Structure 1
């Protein structure tokens, strides 16, 4: 992670940061751009910091703008570009620095993978068990995970088995950040409010930042854990499920006619396709694939996102799983009957063929043979 405290540059605006001979700082990850050369635009995911830094990646302390950029790879590059025509008069005759930057190493091996690819469901565990055998627990730790989500999907996070070392937030806290509001946590959990961890589903709009550039990053949600007192004693599990929205009729009712046996529904933009094989309870129109129903994990949030209610009314409800088990038993019975009938038919056909062969051999007379 790098934190840049900018000195106000002489020229340049945020909209023109990538263009022209403007004074600017460019920050990028070679692991993401596959090049050690500075990117020419934001389409590659680089950040351009100029006189009026984009407020989406900056927060302000007193009068100085501060940009905090967290890398998802092992290296982060920073390049300063100054227009030589006015550099001497604007900067180098003044003692004040052009900018100040601080960097910090975060996300130790105890945190596990930093970027988690998009998937229908998943789990995040802390501490990372594989690292406990070769990593000495530090005195403090900071983990930042980026959970990526498929486009046009909502996501529901559920916090389970959360344990902190103390009740104080300064000793350990979990925070959820959304791209639509990156400077303030959407949810913060400490030892004193660990029981209040139910949260509603996050919409696809929450997971996508508002940007005026042509670069559209992968929808995601970031989770941060900070521990300062024996962090290895803290432990938690975070499970998530991607959700699909069933389209609605013009009057606002759910378009249940689009719910088919194979889950082929129309998306809200009319492009078609979807994963609405199981409609979650309530009027939200949230759907999940049939493979997630009765798999031992709650994937359907109830109204308000309360976990306990989901156990009784959602995809893990006893009535739903009982009906699903009975349907599977009937399917296996039909498969068994069909397989048994096929075997009997094959045996009967084989016996008929053998009988015909025997009859042909018995009816052949010796005098029918020709003498040579």
Structure 2
């Protein structure tokens, strides 16, 4: 009768064999084998039958252990024995299996003699059952080499290990091993890129927005063989849906390494752990942002096209020691896609004046067609982000000329104006402050971030967030580039610098700005409205100079007490009369008179034709 294996509770065991004076009845004796066994080992799982186990992630968690363990058979077993270990994780997890100790010997005490190869084998399957098409590795007693401390990783939540013996054994398995296993969260935020370690793609039509972080599977820091760990997240959209990708980085938590001499001063060049955001522009990598240290607040990065990339780079020499089995995220961010067809072009200017109209008329025509019958509650919340470029040496004035909002709260519609390098908006316009939005202050070239007198400042970002239902919200935002009047050191105007044709009409008030002649009487207020903050003397100080430029100085006495702005009827009517093409009108009048004379002559000749000849004969 076989005796099952027994284990001691310490490193000592006392065994005593007792028989009668006559000896055993059959005189066959017995086989007794002694071997060592790792102490305090309990397999965390459910046992089925003699040696079939279900080792689940839940069982391991209940045991409060970080890794599970199972051992080779150390007692006798009959021929054709098969033992299985189904290592099963939760949905989204993967399994790692490795052998801290592994020895392969010849079968020493077989019960059934076997002369072929692979009398005993251990097979690892990337599956939840022994699938021959999903074999990761097979170890045989006759020709295999043991592989210690090598990771065998599944691609699904299950790994299946099976031990088979054709011979059986009196002394335990010829494949002697200690097997450790653990589970890793392999949750992805987008579509995994095949044949890469951790790359993902976020397509706008599948993942329109959400949160991302460094890979939750910290096993990636152990699988690069000492080379740098690179995980790239690509954000891809289609201009028919959106024109921009927006990433907001909320936290960066790379570990500080005291032995690393590379400081985080030049993020793009230094070999440090970092997070890089970039986009491809004309087949070159255009870096948008780089983070290699903790950030005090969230940073938003906006693409200029329909693709953007976020890449995490970890130096390989310390990836395992710093981040393997580290539960804390190395970075956290959120993303969204913005600027749909209703927003129109993403770039505006530079031009002396212009307008931004929402919704974009061409897109609105498509949205209002017969195929656009969408229930009101299905409309998404629209976000538009425009770049307004301004010419060098020019101030900027924005004027919300027209606005119609469906609701009266700022949650339903909001227009924000951001200046270069500023995290907070310079202006916020919404239904609650619509009256104040019509008298916005002038943004000087210095406010716009101009670095030099001949360099264009960085673009102004204008962002609209509101209901995406066509026709519910609409506005017209007008901009004007203003020429700031230059001054001499003594405070007088530098007239020599006003000869470039950009300063033909000085706006009323003490703003010291002017506009070119072509912006006069164009139906749009291009001069800022400062009547409520200026005195009459300030409002009328430039009347004579303006009249002289327009050729109306002889009427200065009539305009002495008037405030003349760029759309004043007194200027526009005179200008229209002065610009009439009198020479062309005279030529046209003479031409019409000649044609009329010829027509009358021909008509008279026709009337005097046949009838006149008949009367002359009689």
Q: Distance in 2 between matches of 1:335 and 1:257?
A: 36
Aligned to 1:284: 511
Q: Distance in 2 between matches of 1:300 and 1:75?
A: 39
**1:209 and 1:25, CA in 2 relative to 1: closer, same or farther beyond 3 A?**
farther
When structure 1 is superposed on structure 2, of 11-20 and 185-194 the one drifting more is: 11-20
- 1:119-152 Cα offsets, whole Å, 9 max, x none, are 1111111111211233357232111111111122
**Which secondary structure does the structure 1 equivalent of 2:446 belong to?**
coil
Q: Distance in 1 between matches of 2:532 and 2:459?
A: 19
Kept in 1: contact 2:252–2:292 (CA 8 A): no
- What is the TM-score when the length of structure 2 is the normalising length? 0.44
- Equivalent residues in 2 for 1:145-294 (5 A)? 145-181=386-422, 183-197=423-437, 198-208=439-449, 218-228=457-467, 230=469, 232-259=471-498, 263-264=499-500, 275-294=502-521
- 1:244-268 Cα offsets, whole Å, 9 max, x none, are 1221011223223543xxx42xxxx
Aligned to 1:47: 289
**Which secondary structure does the structure 2 equivalent of 1:85 belong to?**
helix
Kept in 1: contact 2:402–2:476 (CA 8 A): yes
**1:299 and 1:8, CA in 2 relative to 1: closer, same or farther beyond 3 A?**
same
How far off is 1:338 after superposition? 11
1:27 to 277, 283, 287: 277
How far off is 1:87 after superposition? 2.0
Kept in 1: contact 2:247–2:301 (CA 8 A): yes
Aligned to 2:78: none
**1:80 and 1:218, CA in 2 relative to 1: closer, same or farther beyond 3 A?**
farther
Kept in 1: contact 2:279–2:309 (CA 8 A): yes
- 1:25-77 Cα offsets, whole Å, 9 max, x none, are 111121xx3236xx4xxxx5521122155xxxxxx5xxxx4221111210111
Q: Distance in 2 between matches of 1:209 and 1:81?
A: 34
Kept in 2: contact 1:140–1:227 (CA 8 A): yes
1:68 to 282, 295, 300: 300
How far off is 1:203 after superposition? 0.9
Larger Rg: 2
- 1:188-233 Cα offsets, whole Å, 9 max, x none, are 12222212211011111222288xxxxx885222111111484641
1:81 aligns with 2:319: no
Aligned to 1:301: 528
**1:159 and 1:312, CA in 2 relative to 1: closer, same or farther beyond 3 A?**
farther
How far off is 1:334 after superposition? 6.8
Q: Distance in 1 between matches of 2:361 and 2:471?
A: 11
Query: How many aligned positions are there?
Result: 300
Unaligned stretches of 5+ residues in structure 2: 1-245, 257-261, 534-538, 541-561, 589-618
Aligned to 2:89: none
Unaligned stretches of 5+ residues in structure 1: 54-59, 211-215, 265-273, 340-372
* Higher RCO (Cα < 8 Å, 6 or more apart): 1
- What is the TM-score when the length of structure 1 is the normalising length? 0.71
**1:284 and 1:100, CA in 2 relative to 1: closer, same or farther beyond 3 A?**
same
**1:145 and 1:229, CA in 2 relative to 1: closer, same or farther beyond 3 A?**
closer
Tell me the C-alpha RMSD between the 2 structures.
3.1
Kept in 2: contact 1:2–1:102 (CA 8 A): yes
1:124 aligns with 2:356: yes
- 1:149-177 Cα offsets, whole Å, 9 max, x none, are 11221111110221111111112112111
- Equivalent residues in 2 for 1:275-354 (5 A)? 275-303=502-530, 313-329=564-580, 332-333=581-582
Q: Distance in 2 between matches of 1:150 and 1:188?
A: 23
1:4 aligns with 2:246: no
**1:77 and 1:223, CA in 2 relative to 1: closer, same or farther beyond 3 A?**
same
**Which secondary structure does the structure 1 equivalent of 2:566 belong to?**
coil
How far off is 1:242 after superposition? 0.7
